[in-house]
Structure 1
């Protein structure tokens, strides 16, 4: 398919992070862009303000007439259920239908493509790398998996010589891509519905790594993550543990809650760089972005400047409130490994503080498979409030619930409980804590505003930096 022949786009599930960045891209090209999503969110409201039309009712009568045209492309996400009325209608009457990952493949097939994959760290690595490329004047378009605080968007537009994308392993979507440079940040198991066995995940990543092409034909692998999983003759290794890697970071120090580190290339050392998002897990992601930047021969002064100016990503260790008495941090962590990293980092940044975590499990299948691991990670909190499981694309699984997960968590009954959204403020008012965490990938972010307002009303203005 030639995308130049397409005049209009209809996005089924436009409110997703990956879908919305594509919608913004085509809208910026002057194309007609419409879409459907289940709920009106902060992101969909912003898309509407930018001029993109969105409907929120699963009704076929509200579909635009040009949906039948050969010059219309229908873009869908695998998260759309099979019984969705618009989806059933569009499959029957639409002339051109593509999955989001297929569209990304069409956009990038004849361009230099950099693809960032991995269970954890894709968004942090990709967003920082996109910022470095943009700041150093590269002709780049970056599709991000989160909202960059620098650009207040999940799309960076500065030309079309280089495309930077996330390589999502869910539904084997990343196997549509053929990047020139790839990166795999981590290799934890996660999407059990797609990869019921570890061997199936390993084979998928091997297949992805074999899809890299010239020019460049390089794949960046985190040495401590990949060494027991697979290898590749075109690999360039980075690490925060082993000096034998091609690129590595070390000498981490924390001064007044700000983190610094040294970065080593094959030929030089960059001293005392700031780590914009704290945590050793984020140091791995930053090391990956710096390694790719150096490989692309971006001037180290440009890289250093971009790193100092990097403001982070929404929902990645986002501090929303900080006073003498309370700190509120929101994070997207939705896997036991991510929760472990988050809590470890919070404790290192704020030692001795009492932590109250509000966690919304994401997906019934993930909660079922990682039930024991979730319990162990959440036990590191001092106090815990569990929200109901966010189903996303799934239907409930018998015997899997937040109440069942709560039973597995070895904390006294006074320190843990399940709550609905509308009871959260009432419950936290009764808790004694120093740090409040909201954790999860569902719609828990809708709590950010009311929690901030409650903290401001009760504890006053934020402490100045």
Structure 2
């Protein structure tokens, strides 16, 4: 199907991070983009300001009569319930309906596609790479899983010859892609409600690797055949060495298969982000971007919203992060401890999905025990129904902390205001980000 041949593009679930990047792409092509989401957010308000017409009620009278099967492509996300009236209307009236991953696959297949896969690290890695390409004036577009601070967007557009996209492992969506270049950042088991076992999960990544036609870059140690490896002080093909921290900023050199490139600067915290940067640099070098352009872009990369966003107040520090897997939580807490070794750290965590909480209960308990004090919010269900015996209280009982409690999102603000802390960290992939603005306002007044 020629996904570019329609006049109208209707997005069901337009406010999702991946869906909104696609909506912006079609808008950049001067297509008419409209759609539905269940809740207005900062992101949907940005889309509306950009000229995308959205509504937030599942009513058929919101569907314009000029939308026909011939002139409209309907795009949806698997998170949308199939009983949604709008979805059923389009299904029963002969409209072409495609998953987001299918549309992205069609777009990237028609370009020089670069896809970044991994349980964690893919948003930061793809964002750094997209930023480098953009700053180097390559004719490229980037579909990102987070909003970049510098651009206030999850879609970068400087042309359409090269596309950078995140290859999402959920629902095996990344197998819809056939990129020229691939990056695999991590393969820690996740989405076991879909895959059933760690072995099936890893096999899907191996299958993704087979679909890459030109070159695949793989974190050192991952079981992917024929990959060019990258890492941090790991004897990889592309290896960050001579790492030092100066005034809280990472400086490192890069050993490549050919030579040593000195003095890269990265302003993101944590060695895991140095590793993400190395993957992006390796691909940029493969694309023949000069090292001095890569260095300039990397030094000026401001980060991704909700990826270790930090605000400094008079006597307190506030950090907000998207981490929702034990490995990500470990990386986050390690970075916080590295920067603030002697500070009292209060964590506020919202578990994401009942199935993930069940599958990694012990891992979450261990990771969350690294805070000094913890407020554990109710589990954010997203697409799932509750699972018997899987609650935040169940998780709380396994966490090795004296000062810990469960709270609803609605009561979290008042609970935080009663605590004594030096560093506050809010964490999760659900709707915990609703706390960010009120917390910043309170801390600014305090």
What TM-score results when the alignment is normalised by the length of structure 1?
A: 0.94
Cα distance in structure 1, aligned partners of 2:65 and 2:393: 47
Aligned to 1:261: 252
Q: 1:83 to 1:277 in 2, by over 3 A?
A: same
- Is 1:220–2:217 an aligned residue pair? yes
Aligned to 1:107: 107
- Is 1:251–2:242 an aligned residue pair? yes
Report how many aligned residue pairs link the two structures. Answer: 446
Name the SS of the counterpart of 2:192 in structure 1.
coil
Cα distance in structure 2, aligned partners of 1:391 and 1:66: 36
Aligned to 1:463: none
Q: 1:309 aligns with which of 297, 300, 324?
A: 300
Q: 1:382 to 1:194 in 2, by over 3 A?
A: same
Aligned to 1:205: 205
| Cα offsets for 1:406-443 (capped at 9, x unmatched) | 1111212xx11111223223212221110000100011
| Residue pair 1:250, 1:262 contacting (<8 A) in 2 also | yes
Counterparts in 2 of 1:45-194, with a 5 A limit? 45-194=45-194
Cα distance in structure 2, aligned partners of 1:134 and 1:333: 26
Name the SS of the counterpart of 2:195 in structure 1.
coil
Aligned to 1:349: 339
Aligned to 2:30: 30
| Residue pair 1:251, 1:262 contacting (<8 A) in 2 also | yes
Cα distance in structure 2, aligned partners of 1:145 and 1:6: 25
Q: 1:449 aligns with which of 422, 430, 437?
A: 437
TM-fit CA distance, 1:67: 3.5
TM-fit CA distance, 1:290: 0.7
Aligned to 1:431: 419
| Residue pair 2:266, 2:301 contacting (<8 A) in 1 also | no
Cα distance in structure 2, aligned partners of 1:198 and 1:54: 39
Cα distance in structure 2, aligned partners of 1:425 and 1:209: 44
Q: 1:328 aligns with which of 318, 321, 339?
A: 318
| Cα offsets for 1:274-317 (capped at 9, x unmatched) | 22211111111111001111111110000011011111110011
The unaligned stretches of length 5 or more in structure 2 are none
Cα distance in structure 1, aligned partners of 2:200 and 2:66: 41
| Residue pair 1:265, 1:294 contacting (<8 A) in 2 also | no
| Residue pair 1:74, 1:94 contacting (<8 A) in 2 also | no
TM-fit CA distance, 1:83: 2.3
Cα distance in structure 1, aligned partners of 2:182 and 2:204: 14
| Residue pair 2:218, 2:224 contacting (<8 A) in 1 also | no
| Residue pair 1:375, 1:408 contacting (<8 A) in 2 also | yes
| Residue pair 1:202, 1:230 contacting (<8 A) in 2 also | no
Q: 1:282 aligns with which of 273, 276, 297?
A: 273
| Runs of 4+, deviation exceeding 4 Å | none
Name the SS of the counterpart of 2:130 in structure 1.
helix
TM-fit CA distance, 1:258: 1.9
TM-fit CA distance, 1:261: 1.6
Q: 1:318 aligns with which of 292, 309, 321?
A: 309
Q: 2:399 aligns with which of 398, 402, 409?
A: 409
TM-fit CA distance, 1:35: 1.1
Name the SS of the counterpart of 2:193 in structure 1.
coil
Greater CA drift, 423-432 or 433-442: 423-432
Cα distance in structure 1, aligned partners of 2:94 and 2:80: 16
Aligned to 2:224: 230
Counterparts in 2 of 1:354-369, with a 5 A limit? 354-369=344-359
Cα distance in structure 1, aligned partners of 2:312 and 2:94: 51
What TM-score results when the alignment is normalised by the length of structure 2?
A: 0.98
TM-fit CA distance, 1:12: 0.8
| Residue pair 2:209, 2:224 contacting (<8 A) in 1 also | no
Cα distance in structure 2, aligned partners of 1:8 and 1:382: 52
Name the SS of the counterpart of 2:411 in structure 1.
helix
| Cα offsets for 1:91-115 (capped at 9, x unmatched) | 2124211110110111121210000
Cα distance in structure 1, aligned partners of 2:162 and 2:425: 37
Aligned to 1:382: 372
| Residue pair 2:377, 2:412 contacting (<8 A) in 1 also | no
